[in-house]
């Protein structure tokens, strides 16, 4: 059978338990990320149309603990608790995901899983919970493999495989596996980059960008009307798609160069251009749709005015939703916080904002005795 590298790169029939089927538990805490150059448009299977780059966040995390035990005669099964409550939607999604991974992790087929997961950011925050959630699950599966098969003992290999698996769960999740700044997609002139998994780009980045801040302004608590999955698929026949992918490639190059030089002005220009170009795609697809809200625009205008008057290097980016991420160097924290408190609060929901910053990436969950706690 021929291999398709996008799904079969790690296919390995050897990863099957011999003898007794084990029980145990593994937990990982994994962060969300915010894209600076966006992944918007994909090709099969879960491959990006253009490379993207993101800040991994510090405070917006998913904590997932997975208990595993021998499956009964019905085979692999998943029970999923989210915030302490059984969640059938996540259960179905995870079971399908695990089923799709049976050639990569054949041992999965012999196990039953009870998963406890929680986010430390509000549901409605519009923070990509699939990125943190899927990366946590991918890390757990790789950890399980490492524990029983003595594979993935090299950390680079471990995280590369986790990123590959996370990508299959949700594209943007592959970038959450690395702390700091993470790049996903084949990039000319950057050896080691790939469409199959993300790549950490800390070297050559000016230190100011490794402590950058992201304050997430919550503008609307409603469920978004068009999912990212549908948004990606609308790019397939989008009349501007080719130009958009070309622009993203160029933006990525210019942005990385600006980030190596500590050039805030170029960083501002590219991050805002990327956010607005992605939303422009939504506004010009067939059917067209709009995820920004009036207060998204009110805030953007305030940011433009503030930046000009106060000479402060703050820029905005948007995810696939109405909330605004304010990006700025740590040295400007007080100035930007005052700006938010004095000028932006009237535009925010009761949830206010989430104060976040660039973080170090995922961690294995342990308590003082080296044991992990299970629970919602
Ligand atoms: C708008 O990663 O959620 O956050 O691969 O279908 O799960 P799937 O899509 P997803 O896409 C979201 C993309 C984005 C921009 C980005 O993070 O690059």
Rounded CA separation 226/289 (Å): 8
Decide if 362 is inside a domain. no
Best residue among 50, 128, 252 to mutate for probing ligand 1, ranked by most atoms within 8 Å of CB: 128
Which residue, of 180, 202, 224, is where some domain finishes? 202
Rounded CA separation 241/248 (Å): 11
Nearest CA-CA partner of 52 in 215, 176, 212: 176
Q: Establish how many alpha carbons lie within 13 A of residue 174's alpha carbon, considering only the half-sphere containing its beta carbon.
A: 27
Which residue, of 202, 219, 242, is where some domain finishes? 202
Best residue among 132, 232, 234, 245 to mutate for probing ligand 1, ranked by most atoms within 8 Å of CB: 232
Please give the chain's pLDDT, 376 residues, in tens.
678 999 999 999 999 999 999 999 999 999 999 999 999 999 999 999 999 999 999 999 999 999 999 999 999 999 999 999 999 999 999 999 999 999 999 999 999 999 999 999 876 566 668 999 999 999 999 999 999 999 999 999 999 999 999 999 999 999 999 999 999 999 999 999 999 999 999 889 999 999 999 999 999 877 778 899 999 999 999 999 999 999 999 999 999 999 999 999 999 999 999 999 999 999 999 999 999 999 999 999 999 999 999 999 999 999 999 999 999 999 999 999 999 999 999 999 998 999 999 999 999 998 656 566 554 3
Q: Ligand 1 — pocket residues by CB below 6 A? A: 35, 38-40, 46, 52, 128, 130, 170-172, 228-229, 232, 319-320
Do 12 and 70 fall within a single domain? yes
Do 147 and 222 fall within a single domain? no
Do 116 and 256 fall within a single domain? no
Do 182 and 55 fall within a single domain? yes
Decide if 141 is inside a domain. yes
Decide if 314 is inside a domain. yes
Do 45 and 141 fall within a single domain? yes
The token duo for 311 is 């000479």
* CA 290 vs CA 227, 231, 275, 293: distances in Å: 12, 11, 13, 8
Domain range enclosing 84: 5-202
The token duo for 275 is 């956010």
- 291: domain CATH number is 3.30.70.890
Do 277 and 160 fall within a single domain? no
Do 137 and 225 fall within a single domain? no
Do 85 and 183 fall within a single domain? yes
Do 231 and 339 fall within a single domain? yes
Q: Which atom number of ligand 1 is nearest to the Cα of residue 52?
A: 18
Do 313 and 250 fall within a single domain? yes
Which residues touch 317 (CB under 8 Å, ≥6 apart)? 34, 35, 36, 271, 272, 274, 275, 324, 325, 327
Do 36 and 185 fall within a single domain? yes
Decide if 367 is inside a domain. no
Total tally of structural domains belonging to the chain: 2
Instruction: Report the run of H or E that residue 277 belongs to, with start and end.
Output: helix 264-283
Decide if 92 is inside a domain. yes
Nearest CA-CA partner of 94 in 32, 138, 39: 138
């Amino acid at each position: 059978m021929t291999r398709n590298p996008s799904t079969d790169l790690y296919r390995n029939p050897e990863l099957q338990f011999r003898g007794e089927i084990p029980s145990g538990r593994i937990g990982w805490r994994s962060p969300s990320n915010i894209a600076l150059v966006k992944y918007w448009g994909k090709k099969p299977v879960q491959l990006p149309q253009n490379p993207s780059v993101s800040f991994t966040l510090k405070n917006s995390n998913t904590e997932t603990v997975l208990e595993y035990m021998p499956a009964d005669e019905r085979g692999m099964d998943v029970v999923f608790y989210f915030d302490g409550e059984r969640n059938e939607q996540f259960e179905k999604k995870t079971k399908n995901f695990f089923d799709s991974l049976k050639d990569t992790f054949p041992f999965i087929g012999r196990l039953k899983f009870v998963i406890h997961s929680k986010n430390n950011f509000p549901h409605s925050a519009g923070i990509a919970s699939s990125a943190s959630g899927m990366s946590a699950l991918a890390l757990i599966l790789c950890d399980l493999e490492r524990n029983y098969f003595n594979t993935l003992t090299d950390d680079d290999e471990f995280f590369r495989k986790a990123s590959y698996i996370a990508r299959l769960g949700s594209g943007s999740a592959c970038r959450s596996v690395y702390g700091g700044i993470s790049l996903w997609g084949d990039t000319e002139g950057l050896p080691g980059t790939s469409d199959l998994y993300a790549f950490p780009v800390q070297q050559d980045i000016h230190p100011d960008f490794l402590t950058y801040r992201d304050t997430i302004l919550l503008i609307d608590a409603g469920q978004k009307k068009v999912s990212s999955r549908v948004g990606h698929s609308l790019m397939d026949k989008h009349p501007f798609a080719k130009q958009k992918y070309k622009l993203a490639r160029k933006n990525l190059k210019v942005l990385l160069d600006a980030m190596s030089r500590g050039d805030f002005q170029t960083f501002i220009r590219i991050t805002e251009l990327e956010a607005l170009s992605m939303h422009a795609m939504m506004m010009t697809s067939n059917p067209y749709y709009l995820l920004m809200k009036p207060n998204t625009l009110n805030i953007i205008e305030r940011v433009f005015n503030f930046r000009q008057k106060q000479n402060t290097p703050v820029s905005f980016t948007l995810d696939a939703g109405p909330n605004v991420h304010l990006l700025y160097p740590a040295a400007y924290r007080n100035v930007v916080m005052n700006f938010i408190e004095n000028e932006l609060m009237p535009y925010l929901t009761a949830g206010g904002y989430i104060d976040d910053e660039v973080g170090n990436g995922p961690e294995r969950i342990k308590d003082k005795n080296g044991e992990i706690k299970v629970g919602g």
